[in-house]
Chain A
Amino acid sequence: MITLIYRGIVAIVVFFIIKNIFQEEKLTLQANATLVIIPLILRLLMIK
């Protein structure tokens, strides 16, 4: 149960980071956000 809840939390965070990537205009800040999102997506999909 707690694993599912935490996957939900990760999904929420991923959603808002992706939203931020599209709203952000500076390429370096988009790259920064992309960097953060990589491990979260891998965790969300339970790949790692």
Chain B
Amino acid sequence: MSIELIIFLAMVVTFIAGCFALKLPVSISMVFAAIIGAIVGGYGFPLRHLVEGMFSYVDTVLVITTAMIFMKVVQESGALDALSALIIQKFRKKPALLLCLIMLVIMFPGMITGSSTAAVLSAGSIMAPILMIMGIPVVETACIIAMGGLLGMIAPPVNIPAMIIGGGIDIPFVGFEGPLILLTFPLAFLFVLMFGYKYVKHFDYDEIAPKLNRQSIETHGVKIFIPIFVALILMVINKAVPSIPNLGMPLIFLISAVVGAFTGEKFSPVKVCTESVKSVLPVLGILMGVGMFIQIMTLTGVRGFIVTTCLSLPAGLRYLAMAVAIPLFGAVSSYGSASVLGVPFLLAFLSSNQIITASAISLIASLGDMMPPTALAGIFAAQVVGMDNYTPILKRFIVPSIIIVVWAIGFIILSNSIAPYIVFK
């Protein structure tokens, strides 16, 4: 047994013991795993490397925090309620289209924050009662919400697993929009129709109309949507007019959040910021832990060991290994899976277009959020619809998971052919 494998096993065992035996947060378990890895590797307590590792995700930390502040502002100002009510009213006679738009609303917080939990807990909790009133059973509603969370996490503009994978081989997060849109939106529409269409073919709008919150849109009108438009405009303006300097996502989210404070319901900005930071801290901690974990893996040669193992697999087996190993490692953390296994697999497919391949691997990594025992998206979706046990949701997820993996691998295989049409830098 090579020393790298021993170090890796020591890190994984420490991590699992921290998470499950000592019930520590994932982030702290990762820190301990990194420290143990360094000690077993003969590097003692490498403080400089631990701090260096944390710095890998400082920009991502700022994006997630400001995105969550923006999301809370959109929620508190009443814009999210108004958007839901407007979509249902306008498209009540076209249930298929209505379901697709509801799916987009569920995905929206995930798209902005890069977190499936944010999507499930914010827009998911708002849309769950509406879906159930429309006649969709509880389990299918939970599946739609969980799937919206997963695909929202991967859809642009913010995709943290893709950022992590790209960061591993110094690819800037530029040009990912096209591949991510094509990877996520068709699947989102397919799954929402698969889970819900047969129940909503003949739904009665008058029954759900009184339960929609229309107060904010009636009070404030269209101006309630201004912060969302400001965010969208600031995101695309730099692409359309390159002479305008890029403000960066954190500043765009903060500007939009400030605008949102004046366009809808009144709220306390300090309270919104406090709650936002509190809700994202576990995710930020995981990123810090992942940074340290990866840095120590790199320092001790474990990362190289995993890369060479992946590279030495036969081509056909490589796809199978990726399809199984990445979601399985997601039981630890989908971000951790993207970092530990996503980067080696991206290197293994070096001859394919790297942006499309990284995007496709990030889609497979998202399945980690449905992998027990952590299964964040599944657990929160079950909570939102009032289920005690998330096992029925996981069972319904088997076929969609296979479709997701096949879809992602298809993109990797065809990446060089389709890259000129979908990757725009």
Q: How many A-B residue pairs have CB under 8 A?
A: 81
Evaluate contact between B61 and A40: CB separation under 8 angstroms.
yes
Q: Are B61 and A6 within 8 A (Cβ)?
A: no
Which residues of chain B from 224 to 278 have a CB within 8 Å of any chain A CB?
245, 247-248, 250-251, 254, 273-274, 276-278
Contact of A20 (CB < 8 Å), options: B245, B247, B251, B281: B281
* Chief secondary structure at chain A's binding surface: helix
B281, A36: Cβ atoms closer than 8 Å: yes
B271-294 near A? 1/0 per residue, CB < 8 Å: 001101110011011001100000
Contacts of B24 in A (CB 8 A): 28
B54, CB-defined interface residue at 8 Å: yes
Q: How many residues belonging to B are interface residues under a CB distance threshold of 8 Å? A: 30
Instruction: Please report the C-alpha to C-alpha distance between residue A9 and residue B69 in the assembled complex, in whole angstroms.
Output: 12
- Residues on the B chain within 8 Å of A42, using CB: 51, 55
Chain B residues, CB < 8 A from A40: 58, 61
Per the bound structure, the CA–CA distance linking A38 and B51 in Å amounts to 8
B residues less than 8 Å from A38 (CB atoms): 51, 54, 288
Minimum CB distance partner of A48 in chain B: B55
Tell me, rounded to whole Å, the shortest Cβ–Cβ distance linking A1 to chain B: 10
Judge whether A39 and B28 touch: CB under 8 Å.
Answer: no
Contact of A32 among B66, B274, B277, B285 (CB under 8 A): B285
B250 and A9 contact, CB distance less than 8 A? yes
Give the interface SS of chain B, mostly helix, strand, loop or mixed.
Answer: helix
Q: A9-B62, A12-B273 are in contact. Are A32 and B51 (CB under 8 A)?
A: no
How many whole Å from B18's CB to the nearest CB in chain A?
10
Distance in Å: Cβ of B115 to nearest Cβ of chain A: 15
Q: Point out which of B24, B51, B274, B285 has the most chain A C-beta atoms below 10 A from its C-beta.
A: B285
A32 touches B28 (CB 8 A): yes
Interface string of A19-48 (1 = CB under 8 A from B): 110011000110111011011101100001
Does A33 lie within 8 Å of B245, measured CB to CB? no
Give complex CA distance A12, B51 in Å. 21
Contact yes or no, B245 A36, CB < 8 A: no
Say how far A23's CB is from chain B's closest CB, in angstroms.
8
Q: Are B28 and A20 neighbours in the complex by a CB distance under 8 Å?
A: no
A13 touches B51 (CB 8 A): no
B62 touches A32 (CB 8 A): no
Q: Please give the residue numbers on chain B whose beta carbons come within 8 Å of chain A beta carbons, in ascending order.
A: 24-25, 27-28, 31, 51, 54-55, 58, 61-62, 65-66, 245, 247-248, 250-251, 254, 273-274, 276-278, 281-282, 284-285, 288-289
Residues of chain A whose beta carbon lies under 8 Å from any beta carbon of chain B: 2, 5-6, 9-10, 12-13, 16-17, 19-20, 23-24, 28-29, 31-33, 35-36, 38-40, 42-43, 48
Show 9 A/B contacts (Cβ-Cβ < 8 Å), sorted by A. Answer: A2-B248, A6-B248, A17-B277, A20-B278, A28-B28, A32-B285, A33-B281, A39-B55, A39-B61
Known pairs A19-B274, A23-B274, A42-B55; list 10 more (Cβ under 8 Å). Answer: A10-B62, A13-B65, A24-B278, A29-B25, A32-B282, A38-B51, A38-B288, A39-B55, A40-B58, A40-B61
